[in-house]
Structure 1
Amino acid sequence: MTPFPFQYALLTAVILQSMALHAQDTTEYQQLPVIKVQAVRTDSELLQTPATIQKIQAPQMQENTNVNLSELLQGVAGLQINNRENYAQDLQISMRGFGARSTFGVRGIRLYVDGIPATMPDGQGQSSNIDLDSLDNIEVLTGPFSAIYGNSSGGTILTETREGQEKDSIQVGLNAGSHHKQQANIQVQGGSDQARQPAYVISSSYFDTDGFRDHSAAKKVLNNAKLTWNLEDGSKINWLINRTKIEADDPQGLNRAQWQANPKQVNDAKNIYDVRKEIEQTQTGLTWNKPLNDQQELYSMVYFGNRQVVQYQSIPSSAQKNPRHAGGVIDFNRDYYGADFRWMGKELLSNTTFIAGLAFDQMREDRQGYENFDATGRYGLKGELRRDEINTLWNLDPYIQASWQFLPQRHLDAGLRYSNVNYESEDHYITTGNGDDSGSIDYQKLLPTVALGWEILPELYAYTSYGKGFETPTFTEMAYPTVGTSGINFNLKPATSDTTELGLKSQNTLGLFAFALFHTETKNDIVPDDANGGRSTFRNAEKTLRKGLELSWQKQLWQALNVRTSYSYLDATFDADIPATTTKPLIQKGTYIPGIAKNQAFVGLAWQPGQGFHAGLEARYMDKIYVDDINSDTAPSYTVVAANVGYLWVNKDWKVNTYARVDNLFDRNYIGSVIVNDSNSRFFEPADRRNFNVGLSIKKVF
């Protein structure tokens, strides 16, 4: 018996086929909704796409604060999303184990907003600039077909903003909750019948909190705008502008004794170091779709952005006496831009769609490091310069895709992308004891994907797929060869993976079902090496293995009562020994990879009518998570429950929505996320205890 037998797939196929046959007669008389998806670029139906895609519509009525992406993505099969309760470090998101190593931000997963990357060219992304107040839907693409997005696409999350519709309207909202959370937001929107006048959605919000833990206060300002032109020649232009500003204190991780004694405490009890982060990001992008005729279409996208970060760390001055130490303050200014051009042709050959494109991205980072103390020895200030470098990165990726329906119920999809990423670092800080750390390196990989789909019945679809993935180290992961040194770690190798998947989908009167089995082998997986004082270093693991299954079901049970459930199983292990070093013990083959939960489950019930009373109840289970490579300790498993109630009042041109929500209803003391391989055993980032928020929004249509 293996933990991942083929019998599971066979049993699921039999069950789904039986259910589809049972529901077939009823389905003929009841038109089921057609779910369109765009994640594989062919604008196809969910039930006829040979990939694991889950689509989440934004709620029609607000039932949460709309600050963190985790509010919408909980319960997506295969997705592990952890809220650190630490706005200085962003959410911790992993997909089938990819991205679990991240100590901040999102890595190994590509993020997009309206087709524009929220992931840097090196694979470092952040979810903080996604405006949930103006969101329309999210598509989560897992499995082999993610490789069509190139570098660091162990999975892909694509968010889509609403377009302005019909009459002009304005909506204002207020939210408040535990730990002095408060948010104010305003949105204006409107459509246009004139080709030269844009439809528009403009959104602005302000959020602040004292934080669940000591020294975890945060402020966030987010502005977002989307203008849409539908031109007379059939082409469409979207122009997006986004600006985000965050100021957040960082309470850092705790060791087990600290967590059990007081999960709210900050590691630096006297707040000597005043650990914190300041972020400013401005980004704009333009997309253009142009149909040439009934068979051909052009698409282009260009974007520009700037990201500035200043981070103060908890590093004692004694450690910075090393002349090669980069200091305790990180300060960088990053300009980035890119473009994507592609052509799509349909029926040029019978029953075939072709896509050909070229993607280009570039980033220039001006990075400095400073001592985190002044001449008097006071910490939490920007002191003497200790690092000064210019880092540049670019990639130029050609790609092609094809979809061929070679039989009425069978089709073949394939893709090929050549991913090449070029790094260069110019060291401008050269002193006695700290030499020239300049250097450059290139990474290239050919990424094929192929999938075979079979419509067994109109309500039952099966597919099998294969893809090769490619993940380069980010500049942040290359930033330190070891904890106490500076310069770029050019010894890190890119990770390559081979993934196979078998999937089944069914949509009938019994609901929408999805089932997937997958097997991923990775070479030179990039894994955490050490973490100390907010500084993380990384190394390569020769081989890792991930295999698992995912199951989801959703259905409208009765009138406005909906249910949504999911279960994920992931067995992620090192598939070869990692030799011991002077500071690390031998990691034996078969050891579980830290940061990854083996089992996850979710169930949610929601009563969501068009108006009137609405309510919801959710339960989420997370298995234990190992904290380091030798599996010396775990963040224990937990189950948490959340509930919400509200009332939506609609009267002609007015709409008023109120809601109240309680998270962690039974006041569980659990760990929200872990800091893998922390040198001081401060692995644990506690989650919030029972907490609430209430909100009110008022919308007026003119």
Structure 2
Amino acid sequence: MKFPWPKPSFKLRHGFIVAIGMHAVSVFGQSLDTQEVLVQSGRLAQRQFDAPASVYAIDGQTIRNSGPQVNLSDVLNQAPGVVAFNRNNYAQDVQISIRGFGARSAFGLRGFRLITDGIPATTPDGQGQASTVSLTSADRIEVLTGPLAQLYGNSAGGVIQVFTREAEAVPTLQSQIVMGSHGLSRTDWQFSQRSGQVSFVGDYSTFHIQGYRAHSEAKREQINTLMRIDVSPQTRIKLLANLFSMPYAKDPLGLTLAQALANPKQAGNNAVVNDGRKTVSQEQLGAVLEHQIDPQIRVQARIYGGTRENLQYQASSPTAGSWVGLDRNFHGIGFQVQGKNQRLAHQSFDWVLGFDQDFSGEMRQGGLANAGAKVGSINRSELNESSNSDIFAQANWRFLPQLSITTGLRSSTIQLQSRDDYLADGANGSGKVTYKAVNPVLGATWHLNDALNLYLNSGRGFETPTLSESVYTQSGNAVLGLFNANLVPSRIQHLELGGKWTPSPQTRIDTALFRIQTDNEIVTSLSVGGRTAFTNAQQTQRQGIEISARHLWNQHCRTLLSATAINAQYGENTSLAGKYLPGIPRQQLFSSIAWSEKGFQLGNKNSVSGKEANLDWVARSRLWANDSNDASGTAIGYGMLNARVRQHFQWGQAQVVAFVGIDNLTDKRAVGSVIINQANKQFFEPALPRNAIMGVTTKLAL
């Protein structure tokens, strides 16, 4: 398998960046302490260095230095195996895929699980939204790729977990004001306090952007809170609330290749005349209970619920548009019991056993629109529901001093159903389907010495159609609003071989080779008039390599490299044999160098004074926007430089950070993301030209 690096991006003039990025550090300090970082390795927490899987952790300081903290894609660029596109279109959310899973999503997220503070942000059918993640109050992000992700159930090609930070020891106020190119403004206000057995973090943020492209203005507001109550030394309760409001996000749509070359700032066909836009409101509450029964047994229970309202106006033709509205209710519960540091055959044995039950139901309606206003009667009304009932188990056994065994199993039942309440068109689009799967995983880690671990694991998974993929059926050259019960889940076999090496206290290198065989991959069948029908391809294959390397040169300088090469193609027994899966660049590289005048601090803390700077390079090879891989759907590769400079001040109890950032320093023209298999070949969403942000962050202990 060959992985030729793209000529447009990987030139010798950037060679110095590649050289300094061959080693890197993602934690602060004069030595790497990532061996001691605890991460979720499947359903069990263990040291990142010992985990028999590719687990990438991003700390809070890296999140805060990534930019205005609006888009999850800005900080995920450095995670190997993850492709994170910023559409610069807030009506459609960011576009994220993990080892190719989720690449075909036209809006929102799919193909992997998104979890915030233990509460799923992905519905049972596999659809999720990144916009409700509060990056301004995030303490860390963990990205799990590979077979162990299958222990999270349906559409678990990977798992992204976001954790809200803990409260300060004393009452603390924080604020942030950011201004940037294209009318960007961002504010954030946080308060945290720990008093006795109760701690609280409250975060309120606002965001507005005029937009680089015509008709791309957006506005958001968000509240994220976390209260922790230590009922006793053995019992802890976390109460979470997240409120998200997007009064409007105008949709500039995609551009054809000719349009993107002629004027990337323009809106797509009919976007302006139809006033395409989206309005979103979401409220969510959750609670997580943890109780330590004894030093070895711990239980955890969670419960959550919420509502989401969504109204979107779409562009169909110069004289007519359409609208789609949904009113969603979702809720779920989960429970698990975990045993830790128990003994089996005189060796350490950890295990977990639990269940998840989740539900999402939405009333969906639609009709015609004119100039962005509803006209006439509704022509679509249906109730769509998805639910899951799963049980799971996992065990980690230090079988020998040099050998650990990991095994797990998840049994899943997924139900999708749609009730058609609009029968005036003479067709009943109601339908119901139930999918069941039992997915095992098995892995082993060889602890060769304190500085080197090798692991091998294998797992089976599945990915069901989403509700939005199931409610349409192809009939000849038309797409009808009929439930497609003939769609079946994709079946996935995932094999991974990896290594983790710390040749010195300042250096760490992780590698992973993977091979993924998928039967019945769900792909686009036909897209007409804003409706898309899906079908099952017989087989696809993904195989590749991921490398992340980190090095601390001295107290003041650190570097990081993350590289991914993947070959994702349709199998031989399909009509698309040999074609590349759209939306997946064959190569991707992130390289960074960071400098601190006073030295990087231990833990997740700012330097109290002094200057800091970092220079990042993001490069991707070309990718395709359609299954046919023709020229009209080809986006060429690119490499972009981004820079950040920060000045830290300390005035008494107040800490102040002033920062300036410039992205796309060389003003490279590129495609930021693609819309897969768009019917009118409006595939392309342009990347931003050279753009800047500047801002001030303050922190005051009261």
The answer to whether TM tops 0.5 is yes
2:2 matched to which residue of 1? 3
Q: What is the match of residue 68 of structure 1?
A: 71
- How far apart, in 2, do the equivalents of 1:30 and 1:470 lie? 40
- The residue number in structure 1 matching 2:46 is 44
Q: Counterparts of 2:372 and 2:654 in 1: how far apart (Å)? A: 53
Distance, in Å, in 2 between the alignment partners of 1:421 and 1:234 is 35
Q: Structure 1 residue 63: deviation in Å? A: 5.5
The secondary structure found in structure 2 opposite 1:179 is: helix
**Structure-to-structure mapping, 1:325-364, within 5 angstroms:** 328-346=322-340, 347=342, 349=344, 350=346, 351-364=348-361
1:258 match: 259
Q: In structure 2, what is the equivalent of residue 560 of structure 1?
A: 556
Q: Helix, strand or coil: the match of 1:236?
A: strand
Question: Paired residue for 2:464?
Answer: 472
What's the counterpart of residue 581 of structure 2?
Answer: 593
SS in structure 1 at match of 2:692:
strand
Structure 1 stretches of 5 or more lacking a match? 5-28, 321-326, 579-586
Question: How much does 1:380 deviate?
Answer: 4.1
Provide the C-alpha distance between the structure 1 equivalents of 2:31 and 2:635, rounded to a whole number of angstroms: 47
Q: Deviations over 1:297-330 (max 9, x none)?
A: 1011111011111111112399x9xxxxxx8211
State yes or no: 1:169 paired with 2:175: no
Distance in 1, Cα, partners of 2:42 & 2:526? 37
Contact 2:270–2:318 (CA<8 Å) still a contact in 1? no
Instruction: Identify if the C-alpha distance between structure 1 residues 317 and 180 changes in structure 2 by more than 3 Å, giving closer, same or farther.
Output: closer
Q: Which residue is 2:13 aligned to?
A: none
The question of whether the paired residues in 2 share the 8 Å contact of 1:573 and 1:589 is answered with yes
2:296 maps to 1:295? yes
SS of the equivalent of 2:577 reads: coil
Residue type matched to 1:58 in 2? G
- Offset of 1:435 from its aligned partner? 1.9
Equivalenced residue count is: 655
Out of 525, 528, 531, the residue aligned to residue 524 of structure 2 is 528
Q: Give the Cα–Cα distance (whole angstroms) in 2 for the partners of residues 380 and 157 of structure 1.
A: 37
* Post-superposition offset of 1:577: 4.1
What's the counterpart of residue 374 of structure 2?
381
> CA 1:533–1:648 in structure 2 vs 1: closer, same or farther (change >3 Å)?
farther
Q: How does 1:73-472 map to 2 (within 5 A)?
A: 73-192=76-195, 194-195=196-197, 198-246=198-246, 247-268=248-269, 271-316=272-317, 328-346=322-340, 347=342, 349=344, 350=346, 351-373=348-370, 378=371, 380-431=373-424, 433-472=425-464
1:652-701 CA distances to partner (integer Å, 9 max, x unpaired)? 31011110000111111100111111121111111111100101112110
Distance verdict in 2 for CA 1:164–1:70, change over 3 Å: same
Per-residue displacement from partner, 1:448-505 (whole Å, max 9, x unpaired)?
0010111011010000000011111111222322464223322221111001110000
User: Structure 1 residue 641: deviation in Å?
Assistant: 0.6
* Aligned 8 A contact 2:442 2:457 in 1: yes
Q: 1:165 to 1:41 in 2, by over 3 A?
A: farther
Identity of aligned residues (%): 35
Using a 3 Å threshold, how does the CA distance of structure 1 residues 535 and 666 change in structure 2: closer, same or farther?
A: farther
CA separation in 2, counterparts of 1:531 and 1:562?
A: 48
Q: CA–CA distance in 1 between the matches of 2:31 and 2:103?
A: 43
Question: For residue 9 of structure 2, what is the aligned residue in structure 1?
Answer: none
CA distance in 2, matches of 1:588, 1:440: 30
* Offset of residue 222 of structure 1: 1.0
Q: Name the amino acid aligned to 1:613.
A: K
Secondary structure of 1:366's partner?
strand
Q: Using the alignment, how far apart are the partners of 2:505 and 2:647 within structure 1?
A: 29
Q: Evaluate the alpha carbon distance shift between residue 407 and residue 112 of structure 1 in structure 2; reply closer, same or farther with a 3 A threshold.
A: same
Indicate yes or no: 2:547 matched with 1:551.
yes
Contact 2:215/2:271 (<8 A) preserved: no
1:382 Cα offset (Å): 4.9
Q: Which is strand-richer, 1 or 2?
A: 2
Structure 2 unaligned residues grouped into runs of 5+: 4-29, 601-606
Q: Which amino acid aligns with 2:238?
A: N
> Deviations along 1:589-630, whole A, 9 cap, x unmatched?
111111110001110111244131011100011010012111
Specify whether residues 463 and 221 from structure 1 end up closer, same or farther in structure 2 by C-alpha distance, changes over 3 A only. same
Report the secondary structure of 1:372's partner residue. strand
Q: Which has the higher contact order (CA 8 A, sep 6+)?
A: 2
How much has 1:348 moved relative to structure 2? 5.6
Looking at structure 2, the residues matched to 428 and 266 of structure 1 have their Cα atoms a distance apart, in angstroms, of 35
CA distance in 1 between counterparts of 2:644 and 2:193 reads 30
Is the CA contact 1:209–1:218 (under 8 Å) kept in the aligned structure 2? Answer: yes
Contact 1:275 1:380 in 2 (8 A): no
Conservation of the 8 A alpha-carbon contact between 1:272 and 1:380? no
* Secondary structure at 1:424 match in 2: strand
**Which AA in structure 2 matches 1:569?**
A
Question: Is contact 2:249–2:278 with CA below 8 Å preserved after alignment?
Answer: yes
Structure 1 counterpart SS, 2:315: coil
Give the superposed CA RMSD.
1.9
Letter in 2 for 1:352: F
Structure 1 stretch 603-612 or stretch 510-519: which is displaced more?
A: 603-612
Name the TM-score, length of structure 2 as normaliser.
0.90
Stretch of structure 1 that moved more, 416-425 or 226-235:
226-235
Question: Which has the larger displacement, 229-238 or 532-541?
Answer: 532-541
